[in-house]
Structure 1
Amino acid sequence: MKQRRLGMRTIGAALRLPLVAALLLGVAGVLTPTPAAAQTPTIVETTFDTSDFPRTLKFSALVNDGDALESAVLFYRVPPEGAITRQPADLGAGDVVRLEAVVPTNTARTYIPPGATIEWWWALTMDGGETTETERREYSYQDPRYDWQVIADDVLELYYYENERAAEALHQVGRDGIAHMSEVLGTELDFPARVYLWSNSDDAIGVERVESNRFEQLIFTGGTRVLADLVHVFSPQPWIVVHELTHIITKQAGEGIADLPAWLDEGVATYSEGDWRARRGLALQRALEEDRVLSVRSIGSNTNTPGDVDLFYGQSADIVEALLDEFGHERFADLFAVFKRGSTVDNALMEVYGFDREGLDAFYRTQRGLEERGETVDRSTRIEDEQIGPAGAESQAAQAEPAPEAAPERATEAEEAPAEPEPVAAAEEVEEPAEEARETQASGRRQAVEAWNERIRLGPSFGPGEGFPWAEVLTGVSGAALLLSLAALFVVLGRGGAAPA
């Protein structure tokens, strides 16, 4: 028994040594400091600087634990149809890392309209290559010169900065216009339309695209649709609000892979005004009386002739009215549905009404008591017979050359005064020499082209130039100078030969 107890003590002592060693190692492990794990950079706050409005918008952010930050990028898009854009950020040195990304908002290549909602987020890349993205957020980009208020419901949001009573009245007008035109076009908006209302055009300076040209200034219509759900209005007039909101509805109802033809898009928007003849009717009436209405093909895109602007809008609305009066609202809504499927203009018209653009032109002229149009040369620049991809810039419109039927700009009152008619024979006498002169000029141009082609075939040729009045005198002087030089040379050589050795 004693020997057994001794054995147990020996075994116990042998076990205690490893246990003590393990405990010591554990304590050492606890007491020994371990390297701290690298902290992930986090965005503390993002601010927005509009001091350079309307050219740029600056995004700034403070970053916690930014020592390991290698680079940062701001991503943003303008819904509903905007693509994602990346803007590299500058990293500021200091106690706290600061990010800055400057987004262009109104340049020749980039345009973010005031009133747009910008969806944005940061992407942070660490030294080791790991990248993390922040949560996506939205920023309402507004004209910072004014304190904007809003009247909003599920149909329409109207933003304004003064004259609340006028804004309330226009909000109701806009709601009524949306309801009426949605019924006409057989569609319904599934989002609230938005209107930004400036009190006058001077207050809106800088809001439009920088590339707006002189023509666009001449035909200033008081507003424009800048996004699928957003319009700008530069004068608090009911007809302008309804007109621009109708463009949102026409896009919803009919724009597919291609834009709507201008006569249809602007025609419906002008028709929606109700009292459009008070503004565009005079130009239309004159054109009808003088049989100088524009062809349907030529107004597939907006006119670029300032003198025809009122006629363009008035006739486009009158074509729409003629279609509605003759065929009804249901077939008119069908026309937009066919366009929505991606049809070309001629195919859409043929499917719904049984005629193409020339047929529509003939129909309209007949409805308004005009004779059939003669053959004309198509000078339109819009390709209507092929499907076209979607437009890139929302507020940009394709422009065509003036229509061959388009009349010149209105004459002054003095020019409009009737003149005594000249005899027909006299006119023929004047016309015949003019025709001969044109034929002579054409013949001369043909001969010049043939001569040039002949020179190309034969290679370069060099002929004598024309005579110069002082050529003989200069030739004589040059010859005398040459003789004197030779004589002087002989004298020098002669003296050199006579010198002593």
Structure 2
Amino acid sequence: MHSPAQLTNTAFPKRRHVFISSFVFIILICVLTPPNVVNAQSQIEIVSSSTKTHFPEGIQFEVTARSPATITDITLRHRVIGARYERYSHFDFTQGKRVSGRLLLRTDTASRYIPPGAVIEYFYEINDKAGNLMRTEPVHWVYLDPRFEWKQLNAEDASIYYYGSQDSTLPRKLLEAAQGTLGSISALLGIAPSSDIHITLYNTSGDMRNALPPRSAIQEDALIIEGMYFPETNVILVLADTRRVVGVTSHEIVHFLIDQALDGNKHFVPAWLNEGLAEYANPETSPSFRIALSTAIRNNEIFPLTSLSRPPGKPEDVILFYAQSESIVAHLINTHGKMRFQSLINNLREGKGIDIALMKAYELDRQSLENEWRTTVGLPAAITKPTLVPTAIPLPTIVPYGVPTPSAIAERASENSGTVPETSRPSGFCKQSSPSIEIGLLLMPIGLMTILRSLKGARRRRVGHSQGGIDHGLH
């Protein structure tokens, strides 16, 4: 566990000590000196540039540049620190030898959302008709909510932004909890995080509402978000106005670490493992979790583990989902040891489905794991109902348009244990679907060709019979 050092007033170096910045972020408008130019030989010059927050709509970039030749293009290249890919946008301006351009980088849509606290790296590329290209040095810029005057508390591998008249007691407590979770769970997963985590602390749910991703009015009225981790931004939003704020912070830190451990393959992690590990690291587990789990065990109303690849749809089932998931993950770690758990995570990082990953690490699939866990809590083994499989009708081995054969599809589906990756969502949940749908769709063209072939043959045989028994069927 990392231990905080003494406070210093040094701002923004590689952080090796905890400190509170001695200034307030000026984020309404940040006027930059002309960026350093990579192409020193270019005659293109940036006269001025600025970056202005229009939170939550977006970020406005303005550039004035000049060149002996007509400037034809100004491009902003940017990425959020933590994202895998760089994006680019073109400025709108009238071409000339001295030009001014303005660009609004939208952040208020689901696909372009950027949470407050994210660090944006950007630079400019400017072209003129003489063939010159100027590229500026990258700039790092913190995107924050301009409604508040933010202060920062830093530690090794983590930082927290907060505001208001409160002292640093709560932010410091949360940062220490974050450091503890980073240290213990990183060791459990066998990783060293490659990026720092940034926590943005909001005092009230009303303050935090405008900082969340776009949601419907009904969702906003019905939900109070206590914490949320945003993949590929290294940012966690946390609500200070909750009794479990320390536990919420530790919980969301684990989602960040799972992303780091799986290196882009987080869609292979089922929800029970993701949320179970997050609750395993939570130092403030709710008593309602323990009550829900003990009641379900007493009544033998436990969820089948195979049903927990995603969170349950009914709100009344969510508490038991978290409690049962945490208990199963604790069983894996406490009974079988950390090395096997690291092996499980490594298998998932390699892209293996959960059953294959479990089998390689524990010689258990999900059903066997559930029964082993049920024994430890005093429940009988779950009875697996046999599934009736109809006799298969032989199909021609025609593979139209390069579609893989059914046997190859089935083999691949078996290897991946029925998981198909889809787009990830905030808070680390994954979406999975059965390959049976994919297989059925792939087999449809084959079935249709067989039916059409049979109908066509029958029709020609009927025509042949009326013409003296000549068979015009297909050969």
Query: Normalization by structure 1: what TM-score?
Result: 0.65
Counting aligned pairs with the same residue, the percent is: 26
| Aligned-partner Cα distance in 2 for 1:341–1:191 | 21
In structure 2, the CA distance between the partners of 1:395 and 1:77, relative to structure 1 (3 Å rule), is farther
In structure 2, the CA distance between the partners of 1:281 and 1:304, relative to structure 1 (3 Å rule), is same
**Equivalent residue number for residue 47 of structure 1:** 50
SS at match of 1:115: coil
**Equivalent residue number for residue 207 of structure 2:** 203
| Aligned-partner Cα distance in 2 for 1:196–1:40 | 42
Cα deviation, residue 212, structure 1? 6.7
Contact 2:274 2:428 in 1 (8 A): no
Contact 2:177 2:250 in 1 (8 A): yes
In structure 2, the CA distance between the partners of 1:215 and 1:310, relative to structure 1 (3 Å rule), is farther
Cα deviation, residue 204, structure 1? 0.8
Cα deviation, residue 49, structure 1? 2.0
Q: Which has the larger radius of gyration?
A: 1
| Aligned-partner Cα distance in 2 for 1:356–1:213 | 42
In structure 2, the CA distance between the partners of 1:284 and 1:172, relative to structure 1 (3 Å rule), is same
Q: Among residues 224, 227, 230, which one is paired with 2:231 in the alignment?
A: 227
Q: Which has the higher strand share?
A: 2
Contact 2:205 2:225 in 1 (8 A): no
RMSD: 3.3
Contact 2:66 2:97 in 1 (8 A): no
SS at match of 2:284: coil
| Aligned-partner Cα distance in 1 for 2:220–2:300 | 27
Q: Residues 268-279 of structure 1: matches in 2 within 5 Å?
A: 268-279=277-288
CA-to-aligned-CA distance 1:378-437 (integer Å, 9 cap, x gap): 9xxxx9526755846655734579xxxxxxxxxxxxxxxxxxxxxxxxxxxxxxxxxxxx
Q: Stretches of 4+ moved more than 4 A in 1?
A: 92-96, 211-221, 386-396
Q: Among residues 170, 173, 176, which one is paired with 1:172 in the alignment?
A: 176
**Equivalent residue number for residue 72 of structure 2:** 70
Bigger CA drift: 127-136 or 231-240? 127-136
Contact 2:246 2:284 in 1 (8 A): no
CA-to-aligned-CA distance 1:308-339 (integer Å, 9 cap, x gap): 11111111111112222321233222222222
Cα deviation, residue 101, structure 1? 1.1
| Aligned-partner Cα distance in 1 for 2:186–2:217 | 32
Q: Which has the higher helix share?
A: 1
In structure 2, the CA distance between the partners of 1:376 and 1:256, relative to structure 1 (3 Å rule), is farther
Higher RCO (CA < 8 A, seq sep 6+):
2
| Aligned-partner Cα distance in 2 for 1:215–1:371 | 40
Q: Among residues 323, 328, 334, which one is paired with 2:337 in the alignment?
A: 328
**Equivalent residue number for residue 158 of structure 1:** 160
Aligned AA (1:188): A
Matched, 1:340 2:349: yes
| Aligned-partner Cα distance in 2 for 1:220–1:373 | 36
Q: Among residues 106, 115, 118, which one is paired with 1:116 in the alignment?
A: 118
**Equivalent residue number for residue 417 of structure 2:** 385
In structure 2, the CA distance between the partners of 1:221 and 1:108, relative to structure 1 (3 Å rule), is closer
SS at match of 1:91: coil
Cα deviation, residue 144, structure 1? 1.5
| Aligned-partner Cα distance in 1 for 2:217–2:276 | 23
Cα deviation, residue 363, structure 1? 1.8
Q: Among residues 244, 254, 258, which one is paired with 1:246 in the alignment?
A: 254
Aligned AA (2:277): V
Cα deviation, residue 284, structure 1? 2.0
| Aligned-partner Cα distance in 1 for 2:85–2:216 | 23
**Equivalent residue number for residue 429 of structure 2:** 397
CA-to-aligned-CA distance 1:61-94 (integer Å, 9 cap, x gap): 1223487112222111112224121212111689
| Aligned-partner Cα distance in 2 for 1:111–1:310 | 29
Matched, 1:361 2:364: no
Q: Residues 97-496 of structure 1: matches in 2 within 5 Å?
A: 97-162=99-164, 163=166, 164-211=168-215, 220=224, 222-228=226-232, 229-235=234-240, 237-259=245-267, 260-375=269-384, 385=417, 391=423, 397-399=429-431
For structure 1, the residue ranges without an aligned partner over 5 or more in a row are 1-38, 402-501
Cα deviation, residue 215, structure 1? 6.5
Query: Normalization by structure 2: what TM-score?
Result: 0.68
| Aligned-partner Cα distance in 1 for 2:140–2:301 | 51
Aligned residues: 363
Contact 1:257 1:388 in 2 (8 A): no
CA-to-aligned-CA distance 1:203-251 (integer Å, 9 cap, x gap): 1112221147966975655111113532111236111111111212222
Contact 1:302 1:398 in 2 (8 A): no
CA-to-aligned-CA distance 1:243-275 (integer Å, 9 cap, x gap): 111212222234553422111111011111133
Contact 2:70 2:95 in 1 (8 A): no
| Aligned-partner Cα distance in 1 for 2:177–2:185 | 12
| Aligned-partner Cα distance in 2 for 1:108–1:189 | 27
| Aligned-partner Cα distance in 2 for 1:239–1:329 | 22
For structure 2, the residue ranges without an aligned partner over 5 or more in a row are 1-41, 388-414, 434-475
**Equivalent residue number for residue 444 of structure 1:** none
SS at match of 1:343: coil
| Aligned-partner Cα distance in 2 for 1:180–1:233 | 21
Aligned AA (1:308): D
SS at match of 2:313: coil
SS at match of 2:205: coil
Cα deviation, residue 341, structure 1? 2.4
CA-to-aligned-CA distance 1:252-310 (integer Å, 9 cap, x gap): 23455342211111101111113314242222222222222211111112222222111
**Equivalent residue number for residue 61 of structure 2:** 59
| Aligned-partner Cα distance in 2 for 1:63–1:384 | 54
Contact 1:69 1:124 in 2 (8 A): yes
CA-to-aligned-CA distance 1:135-187 (integer Å, 9 cap, x gap): 22221111121222111122321111132221112222221222222233333
**Equivalent residue number for residue 26 of structure 1:** none
Aligned AA (2:209): I
